[in-house]
Structure formats: C-alpha cells, structure tokens
Amino acid sequence: MPIISSFLGIVISMYFNEHNPPHFHARYNEFRAEILIETLAVKEGKLPPRILGLITEWAELHKDELMENWNSLEKTGDYKVIKPLI
C-alpha cells in the first residue's frame, strides 16, 4: 500500500487495484478511515474530529492530485507523493 503523504502523525495511502468509488485511506494512531475523494465523506471507519478536519483540509488542497494518483495506480501502478499539510 503506497504512502501518498504523511503529516502530523497522519498517514495517507492508497491500494493498488482498489475498488470504486475513488478513495484514500487515512491512519492516525489506532484510528483508520476510508475517505471518498469526490465528496471527502468518510466511507468507512472513524477518526477523531480534529484529525478528520486536518485531513479534509489537506484533501481539498490536493483533490486533483488524489484523483491523478487513483487513476495512475489503477492503470500503471505508479503514483506521486503529495505534499503534506504545513
């Protein structure tokens, strides 16, 4: 599972050959969630509200890059690391 970004103890990743709809995985300590790229809604799992807010802020800034990674991982297995939230 490629790590797409990490910041403030949060790890963002995507799987190769993942199922639709496009989403990414977020991990923070013992918390895990799948987050839809289009709406940034939590598809599955749970994160502390403050952490979810930081992830949503980051994902809003990088939505296009997340979709590019989703499509690229599906087609070629390649991906790019995305800048962390500063």
- pLDDT tens-place string over residues 6-17: 999 999 999 887
Look-up: residue for tokens 């709406």?
39
- pLDDT tens-place string over residues 25-83: 999 999 999 999 999 999 999 999 999 999 999 999 999 999 999 999 988 989 999 99
3-state SS, 62-81, equals CHHHHHHHHHHHHHCCCCCC
- Model-level pTM greater than 0.75? yes
49 preceded by a cis bond (ω within 30 of 0): no
The secondary structure of residue 19, as a DSSP letter, is P
Q: Are 24 and 42 in contact (CB under 8 A)?
A: no
